[in-house]
Amino acid sequence: MKVIRLRRILLTIFGLPFWSLLFFGCDHTSEVIVPPPVKSINSAINLTSFEKLDSGLVSFELRCLTDSFYSCANYTIGFQLDTIADTLDLTFTEISRPGVCLPATAKAFAIVNLGAIANGTYQFPITVKSVSAPAQIVVTDSTIEITNGDSTWTKILRPVLHRIPDSTIWGQVGYNQASALDSANTFFDSLVSIGASAETLSTGSYGYFYFDNAGNPDSILELGPSIGTTFRIPYVYHYTGDTATLHSLITAYANQANVVEVNVITSEGYEYRSW
């Protein structure tokens, strides 16, 4: 069983697709054209809100991607963030070519970390090429909402982000053989036996998972680690017990010779895996 922080998960999610590209070579041509290291922004930018949980710390991020694709997989979007009282002023400045090109086409990206934001309303102008969207961020106990953030150059893909309630756990149960479904379901019986109960939350995105209109967690957890099995069952539960009990539960499944693989992520920002 492994116990890891979500920071590692996120680094894996963002890092692996890039570093794995190092195994692929570039086509050889008679002439190599090197683009300039910095270019002006020539693409609209899509912003997705995300509340990052990491070992008891909480921070609000914007995951940013261009509409356009570039000739390296690791182009980045330059930006400047100025904070004055209740105003967060974000300006995107350029598209930057990396010193070492990872050979694939991909969108340029940036992660804008706004830190821990207290409840309240914040002015949040977003500027690209002198065009400013008069956005606001409204933070409550249950949601983080960005309003008026769309412009010629920007689009907010997730205007409302639901915040994960305290004492929430979530993850996936995976198995490869259909005959292992009963074994997979015993994990949920085990969760109930330690005092957990299935959670039904409001429809919408919680960053790490999504609830559909029927009140069920979506079959693809947005930023959860991928279990490499044929079948996966996502779950979201309410749990007020201690983490030592979760440790013991996952350890039991770690000894099942991979018949069933499970993971648990907590609202404090820790993950426990059986693999």
Question: pLDDT for 163-216, tens place per residue?
Answer: 999 999 999 898 888 888 998 899 999 999 999 999 999 999 999 999 988 888
Distances (CA, A) of 150 to 109, 122, 153: 18, 16, 8
How many Cα atoms are found within 13 Å in the side-chain-facing hemisphere of 221? Answer: 23
Cβ–Cβ < 8 Å for 102, 71:
no
Residue 218 tokens, joined: 């979506």
DSSP 224: S
Question: What is this structure's pTM?
Answer: 0.81
Cα–Cα distance between 176 and 273 in angstroms, integer? 17
Cα–Cα distance between 95 and 23 in angstroms, integer? 25
User: 95 pLDDT exceeds 60?
Assistant: yes
Strands (E), 140-185: 143-147, 154-156, 160-162, 168-175
Type and span of the H or E element at 90: strand 87-96
What pLDDT digit, counting tens, does each position of 35-50 carry? 567 789 999 999 999 9
Cα–Cα distance between 116 and 28 in angstroms, integer? 47
What pLDDT digit, counting tens, does each position of 126-163 carry? 999 999 999 999 999 999 999 999 999 999 999 999 99
Interval 231-236 mean pLDDT: 90
Q: Which of 112, 94, 246, 102 is nearest to 170 (CA)?
A: 246
Q: What pLDDT is recorded for position 152? A: 96
Q: What pLDDT is recorded for position 109? A: 97
What pLDDT digit, counting tens, does each position of 55-81 carry? 888 999 999 999 999 999 999 999 999
Which residues, at least 6 apart from 237, have a Cβ–Cβ distance to it below 8 Å? 168, 169, 170, 191, 196, 197, 198, 199
User: 13 pLDDT exceeds 90?
Assistant: no
Angle separating helix axes 181-193 and 243-254, nearest 10 degrees: 160
Cα–Cα distance between 184 and 232 in angstroms, integer? 9
